[in-house]
Amino acid sequence: MTLFANHSQFIKQEAYKLGFDYCGIAKAEYLNEDAKRLEQWLNKGFNGSMHYMENYFDLRVDPQKIVPGAKSVITVLKNYYPSQQQNINTPKISKYAWGKDYHEVIKQKLNELTHLMKQELGNIHGRGFVDSAPVLERAWANKSGLGWIGRNGNLITKQSGSYFFIATLIVDIELKYDDAFAKDYCGSCSKCIDHCPTEAILPNKVIDGSKCISYFTIELKDELLPQNMKGKFDNWMFGCDVCMDVCPWNRFATPNTELSFTPIPEILNLTTDEWLSLKEDMFKEIFRHSPLKRSKWKGIQRNLKFIQS
């Protein structure tokens, strides 16, 4: 086994010990095809008011612009599929937001992995990213052999579906690289397209982000939500899981074992009236470590009133 292969094996072993479910490694190179797709997507305005996606275009498609001298992109996946369910009378919240903020949980694990790599492999330089920097995580996950991009735009693993957080670690050392995941197992299935409440999923794996319920309930900061979306949210208060819930591959999803992702009881149980009567100070206290703080109390109240009106 070569030195590069030994190093790759060590990284994967440590990633699994830290609680990551999958780990793949790709060569750090310019994402030519993804650059074209991203440019077309932005030109069509599918990012809506998410203008930050227009920034740092070069960094998104070239890892060497993010980490000078980058040679490898390590991608890890962390399962967040819950064992519990929300009470039938509660406003719907995307499963990824039921527990502690994944940014905090995964960033800590990435830092630990980087520390272990430096101890074992020497003075390497690298940066870890968890949905907080201009990195095309799903493209790198595909190039690392972890799965394919489904019609709903999500990375799908053949073994366990798509309820995973994706994180990347870009480093300046050469490693043994995995083969890209070349097949597409969506076949002729169009369930995600057919069931999307706002028709945000277009053909050819294109998502109109400006129509997505997650966009409206999390990203859009306007005081009022658009009237043409009335009655289309299907009681989703924060995010939306419809395209994953109907995906046949998620029949293989298994409950996560991460204690930090244990659902906050209020998310599972509060009724709409109880949410509406929740004061801002209590919201801040209960959800101080939750992804829900991204929408803030004011945004949650706006969403609730919209889906109830």
Cβ atoms of 153 and 38 closer than 8 Å: no
According to DSSP H, which parts of the chain are helical?
A: 3-17, 32-43, 57-61, 63-66, 102-121, 137-143, 191-195, 213-214, 242-245, 265-269, 272-276, 280-286, 296-308
What length is written for the chain?
309
Three-class secondary structure of residue 68 per DSSP: coil
Instruction: Point out the catalytic residue in the list 131, 178, 194, 273.
Output: 131
Going by the DSSP 8-state scheme, the letter that residue 172 receives in this structure is S
Backbone phi, then psi, for 79, in 5-degree steps?
A: -70, 135
Q: How far is CA 106 from CA 55, 78, 103, in A?
A: 24, 8, 6
Bridge partners, 85 (sequence order): none
Question: Catalytic annotation on 131?
Answer: yes
Cβ atoms of 214 and 94 closer than 8 Å: yes
Q: Which residues are catalytic?
A: 131
